Structure 1
Amino acid sequence: MLLLTHLRWLAIAGQLAAILGAWLWIGNALPVVPMLAILVALAGLNLSTLSLLHRGWKVSNHQLFVAILMDWAALTSQLYLSGGTTNPFAPIGLLQVVLGAMLLEMWASWALVALHILTFGALAAFHRPLHLPAAYTSLFSPVHMLASWLNFVLVCVLLMLFVTRISRNLRIRDAHLAELRQQAAEEDHVVRMGLLASGAAHELGTPLASMSVILGDWRHQPDLQPLTEEIGEMQAAVARCKDIVTGILYASGEARSERVERTSLSAFVAQVARDWEGQRPGMLTLQDRSDHAITIVADRTLVQVLFNLLDNAVEAGASRVALIAETDEHMLRLLVEDDGPGFAPGMIEGLGRPYRSTKERRGAGLGLFLAVNVLRKLGGTVTAAPGVQGGAVVTLAIPLKALTLEDNR
């Protein structure tokens, strides 16, 4: 719209020069007063438009179409007052057609084309005759030829100005896209640093375990009894380092930790339920529909995933939570059902994105994100849905081959 106002100022200046030039050259052949009134109206339109744009006016296609229609109406009126299609400047309407094709939506562009076709035809039959002196009435008069040439130059110059402005806008857009690509590259670098941290955590696990064992032996050495307090502090520091390493591995979605054990699927689910219910007595119901004969290798990360989901249900306002285990030939499904308020609108679509939560505390929204990350490493999925009788249901689907002993040796 701003570019259109700039072009309109050029049009006003060009028409004013043509009207005054014709008035000085051929006298009273033109109705100068109404033609100047149209120019004043165009100037008023420009000032109003600039005022609205200065106040943050958000321009739509319809509003741009109406603005170009006003230019069309002004040009049609000027041509009607100055000889219609006999006016050598009549083809300048092509400029508006080009502007419409570049600025408007398809339907509006075609509507503008139809209007100019009808207008050009109507102006050939209905217009105020241009009473030229006898010396200038020839069809191929020098005035007509000069005006046609000036019209051609004007169209070329205006098109060039407009196209170069559009090209500059495209360059600005390309620079913005390049900036976005740079940001994406930097974010990819951050992800790579996270992977490096995960790898470093793997490597640190073994020496930390060795240090823990050595410090345990030192604690029972008689010669080192005077250093018992210092050794205890060192053991606490090593334990904290191990907790940090475990957190890094869990956050990166690593599905294995140091604490793995061979157990049956049924015993694993029952142990998770007992451990969690020990913290929140009377809130959990376990429904084990799995194949009790399946033997798995379970580790702490999977327990942490289930604890996170159960804690999330309670923090969201649930008074009862159910943990359901189901199996088929190839898949284990762990369902966490609750009677809470359920997911807020839009939360299910963004499932697994970090920091998306209805809870206000800092860092909320990582539980599902970490669960999705861990399950992805196991080849599984996490889905969420509203409960049949209210609340929410979160389903963990894990391939059995990712948990069975043979696939983890």
Structure 2
Amino acid sequence: MNSDVTIRPVERHRAALNDDARAAMNAKNLLLLIYLRWIAVVGQIATIIVVHFYFGIALPLPEMLCVIGFLVTLNIVSLHRRAHSQDRSGAAVFMELLLDVAALTAQLYLSGGATNPFVSLYLLQVILGAVLLEAWATWTIVAVTAGCFIWLTQAYRPISGLHSGMHRNHAGGMFDLHIQGMFLCFLLAAVLLVWFINRINANLRERDARLTQLEHQAFEEEHIMRLGLLASGAAHELGTPLATLTVILSDWDKVDTIRNDRTLSLDLREVQSQLKRCKEIVSGILLSSGQARGEDARRETIGKFLDRTISEWGERRKPGQLEYRNNLAEDLPIVSDTVFRQMLGNVLDNAVEASPHWVGVQVDSEGDDVVIAVHDRGTGFPECMLTGIGVPYCSSKDRDGSGLGLFLVVNVLRKIGGSTVATNRPEGGATVTLRFPVSALRLEAA
């Protein structure tokens, strides 16, 4: 993990998010086509068994079983490509539908052509194309299925016994083989269409919800980028006055009147200490934004990194009591990160502001995740913050600019695959739980 949070230009990022959502939608649609193809395989096998063995109508079994074998092979290949290929384009769905049309045409050719009542299953392919594909691809499916229908009126393998059976049972109405076939085809197409379109609508709703979430994330990252630019500019501008103050304070330190006055001397030391802290903060901002050169990121273990970070914070903020427990099962090597250290400091700062007399920190490991729980004994979070933690400028503090700390925490953790949860403690106070995969900070990821 780099020490800076890289943010792509917002418009390009949003376009990439839309492409990702569209690709995910196509992947789910391909999976639905695979399910339908399995249903078609089972349905064709059942139909062949009934027609050939129950009604005694001779069918070209070897050829029809070859077509079924082709569909099974196509499904296996499709499942493999879906698991290992990055191709999630609409063209893949288009090709799958064309292959389904080809398989249906082959089966109809072997079983009576256009006289087969299942010829109307072409409409199923057309409707699926209209739902899943762009206009040009849908019209291509229409043209292909229409051409196949016309061809099947002239070229097909007749089925012996079918027409005689139809004439013999003509008076039977619904018991006529052809009418029965038409009814079964209608029922099958209706059931499959209702099921498929309901699943498509569910996928569309899920995609819309995902796009809304991604748009919100893009907006937050745009906000972070602007904050980073403002912070970087402010750090540059603060460099000169801080250097000037350092020189002035050094001169004052040499004045006998100040050196001989214990109170003034102590005050001067405190001002110099705070000035040094301000310079460290400015240097950290410039280093994190890549505008200053520093030493390579420090390599240490996750336990030592957390121990050092929390110890330094405790010396700087001096809470009444800092209760710290490190229960990590394994102390893995990582590359310590300035942004991550500042993020943890934001959470601790919020805790000590809410509860100056006591702050509790507990570190645990759950699988590959590190879980850091920061407790305080303050007034707790208002309900609006519990449901929307990380919303910028949403804070219980009554001052301008509040709420950015948790906003940055949520986004930094999300960037490395982590999460942030805020809860109120039953005994009073609040807990902020940070969870992240330690692999995001490991030495190999540097």
Query: TM-score, with normalisation over the residues of structure 1?
Result: 0.49
Greater RCO between the two (CA within 8 Å, min separation 6)?
A: 2
TM-score normalised to structure 2 length = 0.46
Q: Which has the larger radius of gyration?
A: 1
